[in-house]
Amino acid sequence: MDNQPTVESTRPIRCAIYTRKSTEEGLGQEFNSLMAQREAAEAYIASQREQRWTLVGDRYDDGGFTGGNMDRPALKQLLHDIEAGQIDCVVVYKVDRLSRSLLDFSRIIGILEASNVSFVSVTQQFNTSVPLGRLTLNILLSFAQFEREIIGERTRDKIQAARRKGHWTGGTPVLGYDLDPAGGRLVINEPEADQVRQIFHIFAAQPNLIATTAQLNRMGWTTKSWTTRKEKLRPGSAFRSPTVRLILTNVLYAGFIRCKKELVPAQHSAIVDQALFDRVNEVLRAHERGPQLRPKQAQDALLKGLLHCEPCGRAMEASYTKKGQASPIRYYVCRSDQKRGTAICPGRSVSANVIERAVIQGVRGMQPQVAGREAIISRTYLESVIERISYNGATGRISLALKRQQSLVVVV
């Protein structure tokens, strides 16, 4: 093989072996794919002893990571060590173990060349120091990327074919169903299914997401609790209004599977009556913002990031409401109250103009150097002097904690 590192023969050539496998399947075996790749690479390095090739002690193994991107822990560590000057040569079993993306591979090779590090593929002969060798490498990578994309396309086609037949094709388990041990379909978990039916009835009786969420949390119910294939428990959590909305709009509960833009009858049984499902979703659609309305834009408010809800401790977000051509009315709101109901947090929204004016007056009273200023105090200045602002919606109390151990309480 003629792709030898161009490193001075007076010192050893430090070689790092990189191995990768796309899935975790088989990694628990006594001798797995990563070990086989490493064994072949070690044998090749040993055959180059006369060239003073030596194996570095660190291992760079990515088990269960795709070659379609560079988001791999061992690869990141390898590139870091290369840039630190700790490696002279990278050895892989095949080119596609390093990357299956031509663009990513070009980036990696650029990093190697910048650090004068050579690249060796044990099973493929090419010399990257000449144009023909670089062309051969690009051809190999192009086929590797093509193979990855073809596999992805076949996988997506297989999933869509299964969905067209009403099969469950995986994803996060949903409340009310468990996965059939035989696979491919869902089976009803009756205690959870009864909760799902009650959620639909509760919302139908009081069509308000926040009120429904608050009632579910008062009852002590939680989202789906399940165990992964690796026996790791994913416990349920308190409901939030977006979670409740996802349940109410999930076509699985009506006995359907979504296949792209179509709904097909599912292999599993329905939990909710079709009439109830349709009635609930008609109400939800009626409350949606119309397509002709622009979505609310993020507010770069004066107290953003500083103002917190005192009862629950969460940051309060800036928002606004607008009717017709009237000027928008700005306010700050606690998202715990909005998403989980007042049972989780009794905080309330507050007028932005009112609380901002109170905070500015408080800061002027505590900071003599700005007491006489007529201009509006800037956000930058507030961030420099204020550690935290707490607002209690029940009492209207604002607490200011300044960075110089000062504090102030005002009521609005």
C-alpha to C-alpha distance for 85 and 94, rounded to whole angstroms: 24
Q: Give mean pLDDT, residues 35-50.
A: 91
Mean pLDDT value across the chain: 81
What's the token pair of residue 221? 């119910």
Which residues have C-beta within 8 Å of that of residue 256, sequence separation ≥ 6? 263, 264, 265, 266
C-alpha to C-alpha distance for 164 and 258, rounded to whole angstroms: 9
C-alpha to C-alpha distance for 189 and 337, rounded to whole angstroms: 31
CA atoms within 13 A on the CB side of 284: 21
310, 348 contact by CB (below 8 A): no
67, 75 contact by CB (below 8 A): no
Q: Give mean pLDDT, residues 32-50.
A: 91
Domain 177-286: give its CATH superfamily. Putative Large Serine Recombinase; Chain B, Domain 2 (3.90.1750.20)
Length of the chain (residues): 412
pLDDT digits (tens, 9 = 90+) for 172-217: 889 999 988 777 678 999 999 999 999 999 999 989 888 899 899 9
Q: Where in the chain is the domain with CATH 3.90.1750.20?
A: 177-286
Q: Where in the chain is the domain with CATH 3.40.50.1390?
A: 13-148
CA atoms within 13 A on the CB side of 321: 7
Q: Would you call 85 helix, strand, or coil by DSSP? A: coil
The reported pLDDT for the residue numbered 179 is 86
Residue 271 pLDDT > 90? yes
Residue 362 pLDDT > 90? no
The reported pLDDT for the residue numbered 248 is 94
Q: Record the pTM.
A: 0.51
The reported pLDDT for the residue numbered 7 is 45
pLDDT-based confidence at 20, cuts 50/70/90? very high
Domain covering 13-148: architecture: 3-Layer(aba) Sandwich (3.40)
Task: Determine the Cα angle at 370 with ends 364 and 371, to 5°.
Answer: 55
Q: Give mean pLDDT, residues 359-365.
A: 79
Which of 36-40, 90-94, 131-135 is predicted least confidently?
Answer: 131-135
261 burial via Cβ count (<10 Å: 0-12, 13-18, 19+): exposed
Residue 344 pLDDT > 80? no
DSSP-assigned letters across all residues of 320-376: EE--TTSPPEEEEEEHHHHHH-TTT-----EEHHHHHHHHHHHHHHH-GGGTT--SP
pLDDT digits (tens, 9 = 90+) for 220-242: 999 998 888 777 888 888 998 88
